[in-house]
């Protein structure tokens, strides 16, 4: 297993840097105050990382998930790239308007990683992966990535409420089974 790490320890592939443009991977201070406070109380969750480099598709090469910020415009992006042959394919890019300045940071979502063998997001209340099913077993056996999805958005796509319970209410989860990508959204 590769380590989930900060940018200072890794060189991103050209496809990822091209997709990021002038955006830079988020640092802990880029996250909202509520997320930083929660992260300080739960350091093992690694909630304020801007980069995850892990092999999700099972080919032995790191795949990259990046939360990147533009501190001048207070915008941020999620970029997800997977290894494909000799290069990388961008699987998803999301663009966000950042949190208002009084929230103490720009980024109001969190990247999560689970290694193979853990249930984690499948055990949440409204998981579509029922216990005892082959789908659930396949998820548990695979590493996975999750991105928080807040409920209750204002007309500009920002959360109405910046409390961690609201920001983390749902998550988009990505994993691979037999070389094929899978995804689901799960809420409390």
Structural domain total, the chain:
1
The reply to whether 99 falls in a domain is yes
CA-based nearest residue to 67, from 84, 92, 42 = 92
- Tokens linked to 77: 């992006």
pLDDT tier, 3 (very low <50, low <70, confident <90, very high otherwise): very low
Output the pLDDT for position 4. 43
DSSP state of 31: B
Write out pLDDT tens, residues 73-107.
Answer: 999 999 999 999 899 999 999 999 999 888 899 99
pLDDT at 58: 93
1 found inside a domain: no
Q: Quick check: is 162 in a domain?
A: yes
Using DSSP, state whether 45 is helix, strand or coil: helix
Count of CB atoms situated within 10 Å of the CB of 52: 23
Kindly state the tokens that stand for 178. 């037999």
| Tokens 């533009």, residue located | 70
User: Residues of 171-184 as b/e, b for ≥16 C-beta within 10 angstroms?
Assistant: bbbbbbeeeeebeb
Flag whether 139 is in a domain. yes
Assess if residue 75 is contained within a domain.
Answer: yes
Residue 118 lies in a domain: yes
Measured torsion, CA atoms of residues 172, 175, 181, 187, in degrees rounded to the nearest 10: -30
- pTM reported for the whole predicted model: 0.90
Q: How far does Cα 184 stand from its chain's mean position?
A: 13
* 3-class secondary-structure state, position 171: strand
Residue 150 maps to a domain? yes
In a domain, 87, yes or no: yes
pLDDT of residue 8: 54
By residue range, what is the domain housing residue 89?
Answer: 7-187
The residues that bridge with 145 in the sheet, in sequence order, are 113, 174
Unique residue bearing structure tokens 């037999």: 178
Q: What is the pLDDT of residues 154-186, one digit of tens each?
A: 998 899 999 999 999 999 999 999 989 999 999
| Strand ranges inside the chain, DSSP E | 24-25, 51-54, 63-70, 75-84, 87-97, 111-114, 144-149, 170-177, 180-187
């Amino acid at each position: 297993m590769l380590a989930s790490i900060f940018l200072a320890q890794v060189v991103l592939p050209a496809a990822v840097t091209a997709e990021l443009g002038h955006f830079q991977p988020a640092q802990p201070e880029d996250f909202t105050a509520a997320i930083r406070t929660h992260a300080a109380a739960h350091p093992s969750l690694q909630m304020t990382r801007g980069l995850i480099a892990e092999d999700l598709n099972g080919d032995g090469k790191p795949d990259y998930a990046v939360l990147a910020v533009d501190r001048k415009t207070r915008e941020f992006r999620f970029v997800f790239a997977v290894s494909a042959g000799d290069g990388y394919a961008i699987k998803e890019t999301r663009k966000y308007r950042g949190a208002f300045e009084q929230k103490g940071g720009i980024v109001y979502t969190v990247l999560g990683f689970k290694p193979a063998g853990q249930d984690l997001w499948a055990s949440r209340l409204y998981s579509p992966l029922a216990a005892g099913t082959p789908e659930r077993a396949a998820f548990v056996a695979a590493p996975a990535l999750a991105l928080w999805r807040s409920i209750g958005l204002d007309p500009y796509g920002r959360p109405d409420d910046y409390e961690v319970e609201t920001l983390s209410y749902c998550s988009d989860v990505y994993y691979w089974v037999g070389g094929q990508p899978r995804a689901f959204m799960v809420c409390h």
